[in-house]
Amino acid sequence: MSEIIEDIPPEITKLTDWVSEPSVADLKQNLDDATNDQDSHLQDVKRWLSNLYIKDAAKPKKIEGQSSVAPKVIRRQAEWRYSGLSEPFLSTPDIFNVGPTTAGDVKRARQNALILNNQFNNQLEKVAFIDEYVRDMVDIGTVLVKVGWDTEETEVTKNVPQYEYTPSLAPEQIQQYVGLLQLRKTDADLYAENSTPGLDHALEIFATTGQVLIPKKIGSEEITTMEETKNQPTVEICIAENMLIDPTCNGNIKKATFIGEKWKSSLSDLKKDGRYKNLDYIMVGSSDPNTDPDYEATKDAGNFTFQDKPRKQFVVHSYWGDWDIDNTGITKPIHAVWVGRVMILLEDNPFPDRSHPYIKAVYMPVRKSIFGEPDGELLEENQDIIGACTRGMIDLLGKSANGQTGFKKNLLDTANKRRFRRGDDYEFNSNDDPRQGIFTHKYPEIPQSAFNLIGMQNSDAESLSGVKAFSSGINGEAIGANVGNGRSALDAASKRETAILRRAAAGIIEIGRKFISMNAEWLSPEETVRITNEEFIQIRRDDLAGKFDLQLSISTPEADEAKAKELAFMLQTNGPNSDPGEVRMIRAEIARLRKMPDLAKKIEEYEPKPDPLAVKKAQLEIKLLEAQIEKELSLVVKHNSTSDLDDIKGARELSQTDLNTAKEKTEYAKARNLESDSDQKDLNFVETESGVTQERDLQREREKSKKKTAA
């Protein structure tokens, strides 16, 4: 990997004002010293991929007259693992939940969650990224992700209207501007349909100073501006063979003092980026990605190369690490990029958190190692044994003369042999038994021990990986000889998959943390994120900074079903006297877990409509009570000048009022009972649709059967 680097004139390499600027030779020497520690891992990666795809050394040699078939045992296990790990990330539109550390961070946490999920769903190719992320973990045991930021600007020429503004003190104009400001907050779409640049500017002045200015268009002016067409984070799965990581970090990539990467680019791409210098000194063609021994080229493009200079690709080296740039004995994080002998970029680490942009996740951790191991490390011998047994059985069958017919000499003459081959009646020599003289070859019986050995290796492979690939078919014994053993096997397999999924989720969480720090620094001052068809939320850059407890929500059908059953059980135990609002919230959550968002929304927004007759009756009763109250008040006034008999009558009237009040409470209780009955019917509908009612009936029947059996 080392190469002799000649001294380059200072005017070419001097890119910063640092006191001690590292040279290409210094940085390459740093990376070369770490190569030996990583070579063994790269050999393992090559072996794992060879076994996975049955190629190179893992592919059986072609021998004349022998089978070269090789069952893909490792690939079969991996295919069952891919979907189990990727589906939890892809089955929900909102991957991230951002929880605030303090009460003051609640709004910021909510805004970060909105923008993170919007970026993953709309700005990144989420499905392709998650699939590649999971496959790298499963195939080679380690996935390395490079996080970055992409900004693009385009020169745009447009006509800008010119306005003049006239002050106004009219009350109706002030009232109109107040209404427009409220409309801009509540319904941005409707406001945008009727607004103009002049009105926007006038409203901004009114909002800040309170002065009312009426805009009037007086013309237009053609101006050329730079408009931002892209401003978003990026993620890229790195090729492990092209990475060099500090071997002294003891498995913690956050503590790595340097990370080197090799990637391919072209003069056109580097010039478009705008950050790189000294591009005219690059020797295009001296470092072809397809011929460079230090670069692992992807196989999708084959040996294709561009011939024109702007698009011709070459290998670019980057270095993220710490360097003493001030000669103070204290290192600072830097970023360097070079091609061949030419340094094209030297800068302080541009990321807000001052850390390198690489995130890693491992499939099976290895003690004190930055890299993990895949299932292929455990299943290599099983695949070799199954392949050898399979090839032996195929050779046994392939070398037999199945279907060939042999005749004893002189059993048939020429004419009768011809009749025999045509299927006609024939004559044979009376001295010979045709059952002894005619022999039809058949495939030999394969020894049962061969099938037993293959079955044993398949079972061993499944127990090692924790993946039941159903190599022996789907039957009752596939998951255990009895219910207890089957449950134990499934629990162990699910726990192992959950552990792997947790490690994968940890990498995605780190990506989210990196996104939050970059959003706070590089997002445009104000960005609008559309959440629903009705709601718009303004996200300001100063609201994105803060400390958050970032949590990753992982949704699986099994977990959702378990939660739905628990909530249904809560409703069942609460009974019909529970609070209707609480019941409605639980029922909406059950519908959401059962993947019925439309029903959940209807339940949340449902307002029970009372019976018109009951409403009319209540209104009349209220009027009656009001009349009675007026009557009582008049009686009280009259009481001051009437006799004791009138006092007795007044007391009787008061008792009647108490009776009417009691009746009013009774009617209110009846109305509440009607509302509870309506909620119970809705609950019964959800449980019937989701199968909870049927499950409860089956459980009741099983209990009855058990009691009968016990009796």
pLDDT above 90 for 156: no
Q: In sequence order, what E strands does 414-519 have? A: 438-440
Euclidean distance between CA atoms 332 and 312, whole angstroms: 35
**Contacts of 555 by beta carbon, 8 Å cutoff, 6+ apart:** 88, 91, 92
Per-residue pLDDT band at 429 (split at 50, 70, 90): confident
Residue 158 Ramachandran class (φ > 0 left, ψ -120 to 50 alpha, else beta) = beta
Highest mean pLDDT range out of 139-148, 528-537, 571-580, 610-619?
139-148
Quickly count: other Cβ atoms within 10 Å of residue 512's Cβ. Answer: 24
What DSSP state is assigned to residue 364?
B
pLDDT over 50 at 479, yes or no: no
The one-letter amino acid at 43: Q
**Of residues 481 and 675, more confidently modeled:** 675
pLDDT recorded at residue 649: 57
DSSP for 575-644 reads -TTS-HHHHHHHHHHHHHHTT-HHHHHHHHH--PPPPHHHHHHHHHHHHHHHHHHHHHHHHHHHHTTS-H
CA distances 658 to 55, 654, 661, Å, are 93, 6, 5
**For every residue of 667-691, which 3-state class applies, written as one string?**
HHHHHHHHHHHHHHHHHHHHHHHHC
How far apart are the C-alpha atoms of 216 and 246, rounded to whole Å?
65
Query: Distance between CA atoms of 269 and 282, rounded to whole angstroms?
Result: 14
CA distances for 677 relative to 408, 473, 579, angstroms = 92, 50, 12
Residue 674: predicted pLDDT: 67
Paired tokens of 375: 């299932």
- Above pLDDT 90, what percent of the chain? 20
Whose tokens are 């309506």? That residue is 678
For residue 322, the model assigns a pLDDT of: 93
Amino acid at 150: D
User: Residues near 531 by Cβ (< 8 Å), separated by ≥ 6?
Assistant: 114, 537
> Tell me: the pLDDT tens digits for 485-495?
445 555 667 78
CA dist., res. 185 & res. 535, Å (int): 10
What is the rounded distance in angstroms from the CA atom of residue 157 to the CA atom of residue 572? 66
Question: Quick one: angle between helices 126-140 and 35-53, nearest 10?
Answer: 100
Per-residue pLDDT, 94: 76
Q: Would you say residue 650 has pLDDT above 60? A: no
pTM, rounded to two decimals? 0.71
Non-local CB neighbours of 421 within 8 Å, separated by 6+ positions: none
User: What tokens were used for 411?
Assistant: 């059993």
371 close to 142: Cβ distance less than 8 angstroms? yes
Give me the phi and psi of 691, to 5 degrees please: 90, 5
Per-residue pLDDT tens for 617-645?
888 888 888 888 888 787 776 665 555 55
- Confidence check: pLDDT of 413 > 90: no
pLDDT at residue 475, rounded to an integer: 44
Taking Cα atoms as reference points, which of 165, 90, 81, 150 lies closest to residue 120?
A: 90
C-alpha dist (Å) from residue 198 to 201, 217, 645, 657, 695:
5, 8, 80, 66, 65
Residue 596's φ and ψ, nearest 5 degrees, are -125, 70
Most confident listed range (147-151, 489-493, 535-539, 651-655): 147-151
Mean pLDDT of 295-302: 58
Q: Is 228 helix (H, G, I), strand (E, B) or coil?
A: strand
464, 378 contact by CB (below 8 A) = yes
Contact between 153 and 272 (Cβ < 8 Å): no
User: Measured on CA atoms in the order 686, 690, 691, 696, is the torsion positive or negative?
Assistant: negative
Can you give the pLDDT at residue 4?
Answer: 38
Average pLDDT over every residue of 671-686: 68
Q: What is the bridge-based pairing of β-strands 258-266 and 243-245? A: antiparallel
Which of 84-93, 429-438, 539-548, 618-627 comes out lowest in average pLDDT? 539-548
Please say if the pLDDT value at position 92 is more than 80: no
* Residue 369: its H or E element: none
Cα torsion 588, 593, 598, 601: sign:
positive
| Residue 2: predicted pLDDT | 38
Residue 381 pLDDT class (50, 70, 90 cuts): very high
Which of 108, 114, 118 is CA-nearest to residue 548? 108
Q: What is the mean pLDDT of the chain?
A: 80
Please give the residue that has the higher pLDDT: either 356 or 679.
Answer: 356
Residue 481 has pLDDT above 60, yes or no: no
Q: For residue 201, give every residue at least 6 positions away whose Cβ sits within 8 Å of its Cβ, in sequence order, or none.
A: 163, 165, 215
Amino acid found at 79: E
Q: What pLDDT is stored for residue 679 in this prediction?
A: 67
Section 44-55 average pLDDT? 93
Under the banding of pLDDT at 50, 70 and 90, the label for residue 534 is very low
H/E stretch holding 449: helix 448-465
Least confident span in 83-92, 356-365, 675-684? 675-684
- The mean per-residue pLDDT over the stretch 279-295 comes to 74
Q: What is the pLDDT of residue 348?
A: 94
Reading phi first (left if > 0) and then psi (alpha if -120 to 50, else beta), residue 70 is in beta
Residues paired with residue 220 on neighbouring β-strands, in sequence order? 161
Residue 75: pLDDT over 70: yes
Residues 585, 590: Cα–Cα separation, whole Å: 9
Nearest to 150 by CA among 518, 485, 648: 518
Write the single-letter amino acid at 622.
Answer: I
Residue range 662-673: mean pLDDT, rounded: 65
Of 171, 267, 166, which Cα lies nearest the Cα of 218?
166
Give the mean pLDDT of 238-258. 90
Q: How many CB atoms lie within 10 A of CB 329?
A: 6
Asked if the model's pLDDT at residue 87 lies above 80, the reply is yes
Q: Answer yes or no: is pLDDT of 476 > 60.
A: no
pLDDT of residue 3: 40
Radius of gyration of the chain (CA): 40
- The more confident residue out of 480 and 581 is 581
Top-confidence residue, 497 or 511? 511
DSSP for 309-363 reads TTT-EEEEEEEEEEE-SSSSS--EEEEEEEETTEEEEEEE--STT-S-SEEEEES
Rounded to 10°, the helix 448-465/376-398 angle is 160
Q: What is the mean pLDDT of residues 444-448?
A: 88
Which residue type sits at 517? S
Alpha-carbon torsion (112, 113, 114, 115), positive or negative: positive
d(CA 191, CA 180): 7
First-to-last alpha carbon distance for the chain, in angstroms, is 82
* pLDDT value, residue 1: 39
**Nearest to residue 167, comparing CAs of 101, 125, 212, 223?**
212
Is there a contact between 316 and 337 (Cβ–Cβ < 8 Å)? yes
Q: Distance between CA atoms of 119 and 22, rounded to whole angstroms?
A: 37
Q: Is the pLDDT of residue 533 over 70?
A: no
Of the listed ranges 403-412, 507-516, 687-696, the one predicted with least confidence: 687-696
Mean pLDDT comparison of 168-177, 295-304, 545-554, highest-scoring range: 168-177
Mean pLDDT of all residues in 337-361: 92
98: how many CB neighbours lie within 10 A of its CB? 22
pLDDT for 548 equals 65
DSSP conformation class of 325 = S
- Residue showing tokens 């019925």: 596
Whole-angstrom Cα distance, residue 543 to residue 297? 42
